[in-house]
Every structure is written in C-alpha cells, then in structure tokens.
Structure 1
Amino acid sequence: MDTRHFTFALRHHMVADTLLLEFHGELDAWADLELAPRVAALLRRRRRAVLVDLRSVTFLDAGGLRLLLRISERSPRRKGRVRLVLDSPQILRVLRITGVDGVFTVLGELPVPFAADDTPDDTDVPA
C-alpha cells in the first residue's frame, strides 16, 4: 500500500527518562489499528513517564480515544498519569465530553526540555 494515503503518523523520542509520543493527523479507528502495536512495543521498554503530543492531531474519534486509553493503561505508573499536550479546543472538547480528560494530565504546551529537543528517534507511518 502506498503510504502517502495514510492520514496519520507517529514520531517518538526520549528526553531524559520520558518517552515522547508525537501523533500527527487523524487519530481514528484506522490509526488505532495500525499504531497500537507500535505504541505497545514502545511502552514495554519500561519508561518512567510518557508524554503524548497531540498538537498536530486534526481529528479524534472513538478509535483515537481508544489508542490514548491504551497508552494510559500500559504506561508505567511510577511518575503519575500520562500527560497530554494539546492546543485544540475541539480535541479538548472530545476529551471532556467523553470524560477521558480525567484520565490524563492535560497541558497547553510542551515542557521546556521537550521543546528544545526536536530530533526524533523514529517516525512510524504504517507500510
């Protein structure tokens, strides 16, 4: 399948002991199906904290919510809840309407150490 037709992507990298997951595009059922195995593999590496950047997400539905909840369920709990970074009122509204916002710590911008590190370890777009 030609990857230029995919409407989503995932970049990830480490900053100190935190795994940063950057999602791009549409987080829907297709993204959940394709990205969930990769996210699960990353979370098995025993990171102490997980930060999910949703600032480049343009659409979020039940499939995307399912993916976010899987991240929360599988992430190590030693450093507290998974943090989400988002600046979209529409995405925040979906999280609030569904009650999912209470599962995460929601931030309006990347913490300083993450904003300074823009080199990804990997980019995942399903093949």
Structure 2
Amino acid sequence: MDLSITVRADTAVCRVSGDVDISCSPVLRERLLAALQPPRARLVLDLSEVTFMDASGLGALMAARRRSLLLGGGVRLVAPSSPVRRVLEASGLRSRFPVEVGTFSAKADPGVAQLASQ
C-alpha cells in the first residue's frame, strides 16, 4: 500500500494505492485518524488506485468515518476502484459513504500542504 495525505484547514485528502489488507490496514487507520484532528473534520479519500481491499481496510475507512462525524464532518470517496466498490457492496456499507466518480486535485489548490507520503 502507498499512502499520501495532504491537508487544508478543514479537509484532509488521502490518496491510497495498491493492496489494502490486514498487513497494512492498521497503518491506514492510524494515519487517517491522525489526519482528522480539529479543525480538520472532513476527509476525501481517493481510492482509484486500490487494487485489493479486505474487511480490515473497510474497518479503517469506518473508523475514519466515525471520527469525522464526531468532529462534525464527513468522508467522501473519490473514484473508488472495482475492488473497493465490491467490498463496500458486499458489506452493505456502500450507503455510508458519498461517492464521486471524478478525481480530486489537491495540486490545483494552493492552500493544500503536504502532510505525509509513504
């Protein structure tokens, strides 16, 4: 799994690629929760390049969703790949996440700062 997070005042934008499974989902969960600190309550997840996601990856997304909602924000999924869509549908959790089919360009926003890359 590769992960990068950029932040603005109220939004964290996370790009995830590769396999998201039990071997890396604890890191994903930790990084997403760390990015959601006041005043950042909103999370945008670009999952277009995720090649595999298991239930532990979904658990990381749900933990981020819970934190975001507690902070008064929400989580949006941008262009989730087929593997991500399949696990969301199979779990019955698809309705919990607003989905956008386009891409989110943090680079187009000069107010976005790089938080982390891995």
Same fold per superposition (TM over 0.5) = yes
Residue in 1 that maps onto 2:28: 35
In the alignment, residue 115 of structure 2 is paired with which amino acid?
A: D
2:10 is the alignment partner of 1:17: yes
TM-score by length of 2: 0.81
Counterpart CA distance in 2 for 1:104 and 1:92 is: 11
2:68 maps to which of 66, 72, 75: 75
2:90 corresponds to: 97
1: CA distance between counterparts of 2:46 and 2:11?
Answer: 12
Alignment of 1:66 onto 2:59 = yes
CA shift, 1:119, in A, is 6.9
Number of the residue aligned with 1:116: 108
**Deviation digits for residues 70-100 of structure 1 (CA, Å, limit 9, x no counterpart):** 1101114534x31001242332122112111
- Is the 2:51–2:83 Cα contact (8 Å) retained in structure 1? no
Distance 2:80 2:28 in 1: 22
Calculate the aligned-residue CA RMSD, in Å: 2.3
- Is contact 1:13-1:20 (8 Å) kept? yes
Q: What secondary structure sits across from 1:22 in the alignment?
A: strand
Question: 1:15 offset after TM fit, Å?
Answer: 4.2
Secondary structure of residue in 1 paired with 2:31: helix
**2:46 aligned with 1:53, yes or no?**
yes
Gaps of 5+ in 1: 1-7
Superposition TM-score, scaled by structure 1 size: 0.76
CA–CA separation in structure 2 for the residues paired with 1:73 and 1:55 = 22
Match of 2:99? Answer: 106
Larger radius of gyration: 1
Q: Using the aligned pairs only, state the percent identity.
A: 31
* Contact 2:76 2:100 survives alignment (8 Å): yes
Q: How many residues align?
A: 115
